[in-house]
Amino acid sequence: MDATRGRPSAKGAASRRERPIGLYVLETGGCEGCFMEIESLNGSAFALEQAGFVCVSDPADADWLLLTGAVTRVCAEMVDRVWRAMPPGRCLIAVGACAVDGGPFPAGYATLGGLEALTPVRRSITGCPPSPDDILRALQELAQV
């Protein structure tokens, strides 16, 4: 998993990408606090599109998958389907304590816990929930890699 589609050109002259990085957000179980913080990035208080990102409604249009919530057993298949629908160059980002390590929902009968125990994650954004500023800053840092 990498963010090659979001990297600046090798020439380094242009700091703006040719097109925005498509973000697909998936909530997999939890209180939805992190999901709401990501959704607030689409509002007028934050310049998500000016920062080079756009939320997309189809995983086939996404470059990066932002996953929130502890991965429930019911949602595990959905996560796999979404991941496979994304084009090559995709990137997985865990947003919030639940997505990172399960938070208050460790692996058990209903949950698989956080992503760090299940699959390689390109970036983890900690917090319960992380603020929209923290999320946007982390996305911008990853885009510069």
* Beta strand residue intervals within the chain, DSSP E: 21-27, 53-55, 64-68, 71-72, 91-95, 111-113, 123-125
Q: CA-based Rg of the chain, rounded to a whole angstrom?
A: 15
Q: For the residues 72-78, what does the mean pLDDT come to?
A: 92
pLDDT at residue 6 is higher than 70: no
**70 Cβ partners below 8 Å, 6+ apart?**
28, 29, 30, 98, 99, 102, 103, 105, 111, 112, 113, 114
- Per-residue model confidence (pLDDT) at position 2: 41
Q: Is the pLDDT of residue 9 over 50?
A: no
What is the arithmetic mean of pLDDT over 21-31?
93
As a whole number, the mean pLDDT across the chain is 87
Fold exhibited by the domain 21-144: Rossmann fold (3.40.50)
The pLDDT value recorded for residue 116 is 84
Distance CA 123, CA 35 (A): 16
Instruction: Inform me whether the pLDDT recorded for 3 exceeds 60.
Output: no
Domain assignments of the chain as residue spans, ordered by start: 21-144
Of all residues in the chain, the percent with pLDDT exceeding 70 is: 88
Query: Which amino acid appears at position 99 of this protein?
Result: A
pLDDT of residue 44: 74
> What confidence tier does 18 reach under pLDDT thresholds 50, 70, 90?
confident
CA distance 100 to 95: 7
Lowest pLDDT segment from 67-81, 84-98, 107-121: 107-121
Name the H helices within 55-131. Answer: 76-85, 97-101
Question: Is the pLDDT confidence value at 142 over 60?
Answer: yes
The amino acid at residue 4 is: T
